[in-house]
Amino acid sequence: MMSSKRPRIFVTQPLFPQHMELLRQYCDVDVYEAGGPPPRSLLLEKVRNKDGIVCMVGDKIDAEVMDLSPNLVVISTNSVGFDHIDVEEATRRGIYVTNTPGVLTEATADLTWALLLSVARRIVEADNYLRAGKWKIAWTPTFFVGADVYGQTIGIIGFGRIGQAVAKRAKGFGMKILYYDVVRVPPEREKELDANYVSLEELLKNSDFVTLHVALTKETRHMISERELRMMKPTAFLINTSRGPVVDEAALVKALREKWIAGAALDVFEQEPISPENPLIKFENVVLTPHIGSASISSRTKMSELAATNLLSVLRGEEPPHLVNPEVKKIRPLTMVKRL
Ligand code: DGY
């Protein structure tokens, strides 16, 4: 039943049907169903007079969006990353920002591992070769030789949930594990994972695989640039399943062209989707996937559920399962955002 008292929300892309249904039980839901993020002009139109937004990684939720939606009390992103939201601005205005951590950790670590193995053992290159009908000689001693993984050294940059899940996999592969983060994990955890805390420089110089698991912030933007790539071994690979702008892509292209490193495997890019002109597409020693780190059925289902329950919790005036900006409660307590 429609009632003017029901909170009004905008969902920028449909969540799973059961979670859309849940939202519809309590809210008047406007959803953009065309597939992919709504064009900016449409987003700006749709957010007017909404109490809540459910958004995705491709939606830029900034001061302009917030200016147009003075009733807005909650922004629920269907992602763990929230670099697409101006959280500081939201907090200043008393808007609750929520996300979906935890439920995509293993899926993202799995994809990291798939990329690492693919680039080391040239899986995509070999598959393309076979499908193109180029396999004419059954076996030769040097045919598609790649890099070893078992027993090598992995350098994990960003040792939060996903970085540590990658370390667990690395342990099974008998690897020496180096990690770097601004925060060092407790000694018991280091011991459990056989992880060695080192400086960024030491990690870059000594790793056979460097894998990135940091959030995108002012500090991590282009944290891997020309200087860092030059420190890596010429036999080493770079893996990125975090955020594209953590790597200076122009510098990476230069590093690949000039063979400062052996290859790269990337799920995220400075511009998404990448342009067909992107020079990365031309390298055979680069594996590329279209931002699918969390794309397993169970992860995406749980993310969708969390995105819905986070939003509904705030509208009920209850603590949401995952609040990005807890300091917002001082600006506007939960009792003042209750709409249900
Ligand atoms: C996230 O959740 O931040 C991923 O990048 C999208 O799944």
* H-run or E-run covering 214: none
pLDDT in the model for residue 2: 43
Q: 288 pairs with which residues across the strands?
A: 266
In the reported structure, the alpha carbon of residue 94 is separated from the centroid of ligand 1 by a whole-number distance in angstroms of 24
Which atom of ligand 1 is the closest one to the Cα of 82?
3
In whole angstroms, give the CA distance from residue 146 to residue 244: 26
In whole angstroms, give the CA distance from residue 142 to residue 111: 28
Distance (Å) of CA 57 to CA 45, 69, 252, 298: 19, 20, 23, 19
pLDDT in the model for residue 3: 45
**From-to residues of CATH 3.40.50.720 in the chain:** 8-101+297-337, 105-288
In the reported structure, the alpha carbon of residue 48 is separated from the centroid of ligand 1 by a whole-number distance in angstroms of 26
Which atom of ligand 1 is the closest one to the Cα of 100?
2
In whole angstroms, give the CA distance from residue 89 to residue 63: 6
Q: Is 57 in the pocket of ligand 1 (CB under 6 A)?
A: yes
Select the CATH number that applies to the domain covering 8-101+297-337 from these four: 3.30.530.20, 3.40.50.720, 1.10.10.10, 3.30.1370.60: 3.40.50.720
pLDDT in the model for residue 5: 83
What's 204's DSSP letter? H
Q: Which of 59, 106, 108 to mutate to test the pocket of ligand 1 (most atoms within 8 A of CB)?
A: 108
Q: Whose CA is nearest to atom 2 of ligand 1?
A: 79
Q: pLDDT tens for residues 82-95? A: 999 999 999 999 99
105-288: CATH number: 3.40.50.720
Q: Is 80 in the pocket of ligand 1 (CB under 6 A)?
A: yes
* H-run or E-run covering 196: strand 195-197
Q: Which residues of the chain have pLDDT under 50?
A: 1-3
In whole angstroms, give the CA distance from residue 17 to residue 3: 22
pLDDT in the model for residue 40: 97
Q: Is 240 in the pocket of ligand 1 (CB under 6 A)?
A: no
In the reported structure, the alpha carbon of residue 57 is separated from the centroid of ligand 1 by a whole-number distance in angstroms of 7
